[in-house]
């Protein structure tokens, strides 16, 4: 593939830097093709990694191309060989530098592209083109810091979500109804709460664009360990634990404990230091450790609360009831009945869970065999009586459609039965026809024959 048009990324060196997915959408639009087509062309250049990268792209939403993983790095490298921007520039439109310092977290990054209508209108004037900011791809950022408007992910007119893999001529217009997306409407929510703008994450993105290398692995753990040791030496550990709970302090001080972005953000807030310096870990500019801060942790940074205590007695009773029932139940159904998870049941009663799992597997096997026998009989009977019941010629496709409608047997079971018994059933029909015996006779026909 030849080099692509010299499209520049917008907002380089600022906290408003363009996200890499936004750059790909604008690049595809400038060539008059869909974003999905552009990705296929870029990945096809590297035959050795094409299949693996394509599978990675398909396994996550398009917005996931900002996430710090191997798929993002692979697409960045493929893209950099055909555009004017070098790899070091493109990588700043993602969070790739967080590898391997931070581990995966399901709620860190958005699954959809989002935008602020006020920003889109101003970008066209300031930059000559509208784009999607990298900071909008963080779930912690709910509101535009400039306009205080909650970020959108769908058109206010047709209520359709954006499909970034399709062609998108300009972010200021809806792909579906062409309605303007750069105008504030009555549906837009004005959010005054400063937590919704996540100023610490905005500053973090501003710091991230100046990095030329990934953050060191384990730096956050080492820094928390330093804090813990300093508090212990000064006999202020209780003061520290009022802000950074004791369990979390000991947990993240361990070098083996994985740290996610939400956890690092929470620690940085409680220790009164920039998130970027916490991830660097070695030479922070803040040395006071902030033990005595009285500022409570914002609700958006609160760690996920653990679920209610597991009722082991209810689990045991439900598993025993499932084993004693005439028809076994699945583990998923048992968990749903008592409001727990399969993992919890397996943890507390592995023996009962294994027995119920085997019983359910045996039940499924028996049901499948029963349906196969039923499908074979239905196939034979229908082929033998097809000419008496239908005016159109007999065909595999027509037989399958009829049996699905009449028997309710799963399609795959019927299809297998037809393929297996098609010729034997036709042979049986031909044999009966050759012997001049009726293929099918009602009770009245049989009576007439006897007379």
Q: What is the pLDDT of residues 129-164, one digit of tens each?
A: 999 999 999 999 999 999 999 999 999 889 899 999
Average per-residue pLDDT in the chain? 84
Confidence (pTM):
0.65
Would you say 128 and 30 are in contact if contact means Cβ atoms under 8 Å apart?
no
Does residue 272 register a pLDDT over 90? no
Q: What is the pLDDT of residue 435?
A: 59
pLDDT tens digits, one per residue of 192-227: 777 888 999 999 999 999 999 999 999 999 888 888
Residue with more model confidence, 282 or 79: 79
Does residue 441 register a pLDDT over 50? no
Residue with more model confidence, 222 or 51: 222
Between CA 144 and CA 151 the distance in angstroms is 6
* Mean pLDDT of the region 412-440: 73
Does residue 121 register a pLDDT over 60? yes
Q: What is the pLDDT of residue 337?
A: 86
pLDDT tens digits, one per residue of 359-398: 999 998 998 899 899 888 888 888 888 888 888 888 888 8
Q: Which of 264-273, 425-434, 435-444 is least confident?
A: 435-444
Does residue 447 register a pLDDT over 50? no
Q: What angle do CA 179, 184, 190 make, to 5 degrees?
A: 140
What is the DSSP secondary-structure string of 302-358? PPPPPPPPP-HHHHHHHHHHHHHSSS---HHHHHHHHT--HHHHHHH-HHHHHHHHH
CB neighbourhood size of 359 (10 A): 17
Q: What is the pLDDT of residue 451?
A: 40
* 194-200 contacts, C-beta under 8 A, 24 or more apart: 195/298, 195/299, 195/300, 196/142, 196/143, 196/150, 196/300, 197/141, 197/142, 197/143, 197/144, 197/145, 197/148, 198/138, 198/140, 198/141, 198/142, 198/300, 199/145, 200/265, 200/268, 200/269, 200/274, 200/275
Q: What is the pLDDT of residue 253?
A: 87
Between CA 287 and CA 290 the distance in angstroms is 8
Does residue 20 register a pLDDT over 90? yes
């Amino acid at each position: 593939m030849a080099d692509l048009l010299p499209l520049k990324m917008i907002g380089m060196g600022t906290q408003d830097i363009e996200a890499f997915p936004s750059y790909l959408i604008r690049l595809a639009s400038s060539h008059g093709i869909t974003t999905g087509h552009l990705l296929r062309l870029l990945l096809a250049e590297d035959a050795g990694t094409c299949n693996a990268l394509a599978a990675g792209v398909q396994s996550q939403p398009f917005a996931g191309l900002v996430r710090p993983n191997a798929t993002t790095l692979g697409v960045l490298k493929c893209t950099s060989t055909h555009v004017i921007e070098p790899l070091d520039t493109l990588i700043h439109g993602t969070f790739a530098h967080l590898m391997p310092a931070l581990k995966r977290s399901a709620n860190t990054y958005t699954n959809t592209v989002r935008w602020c209508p006020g920003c889109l209108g101003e970008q066209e004037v300031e930059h000559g083109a509208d784009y999607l900011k990298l900071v909008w791809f963080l779930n912690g950022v709910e509101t535009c810091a400039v306009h205080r408007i909650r970020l959108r992910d769908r058109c206010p007119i047709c209520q359709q979500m954006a499909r970034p893999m399709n062609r998108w001529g300009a972010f200021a217009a809806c792909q579906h109804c062409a309605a303007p997306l750069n105008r504030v409407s009555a549906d837009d929510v004005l959010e005054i709460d400063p937590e919704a703008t996540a100023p610490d994450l905005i500053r973090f993105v501003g710091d991230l664009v100046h990095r030329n290398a990934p953050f060191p692995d384990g730096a956050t753990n080492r820094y928390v360990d330093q804090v813990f040791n300093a508090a212990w030496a000064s006999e202020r550990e209780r003061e520290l634990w009022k802000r950074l709970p004791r369990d979390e302090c000991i947990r993240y001080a361990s070098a083996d404990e994985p740290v996610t972005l939400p956890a690092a953000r929470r620690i940085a807030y409680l220790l009164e230091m920039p998130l970027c310096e916490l991830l660097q870990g070695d030479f922070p500019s803040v040395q006071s450790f902030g033990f005595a801060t009285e500022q409570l942790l914002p609700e958006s940074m609160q760690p996920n609360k653990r679920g209610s205590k597991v009722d082991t007695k209810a689990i045991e009773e439900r598993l025993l009831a499932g084993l004693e029932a005439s028809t076994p139940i699945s583990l998923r159904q048992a968990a749903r009945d008592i409001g727990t998870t399969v993992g919890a049941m397996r943890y507390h009663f592995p023996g009962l869970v294994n027995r119920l799992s085997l019983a359910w597997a045996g039940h499924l096997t028996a049901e499948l065999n029963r349906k196969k026998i039923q499908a074979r009989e239905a196939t034979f009977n229908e082929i033998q009586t097809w000419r008496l019941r239908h005016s159109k010629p007999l065909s595999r496709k027509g037989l399958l459609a009829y049996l699905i409608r009449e028997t309710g047997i799963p399609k795959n079971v019927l299809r297998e039965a037809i393929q297996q018994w098609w010729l034997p059933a036709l042979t049986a029909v031909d044999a009966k026809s050759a012997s001049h015996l009726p293929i099918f006779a009602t009770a009245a026909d049989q009576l007439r024959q006897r007379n």
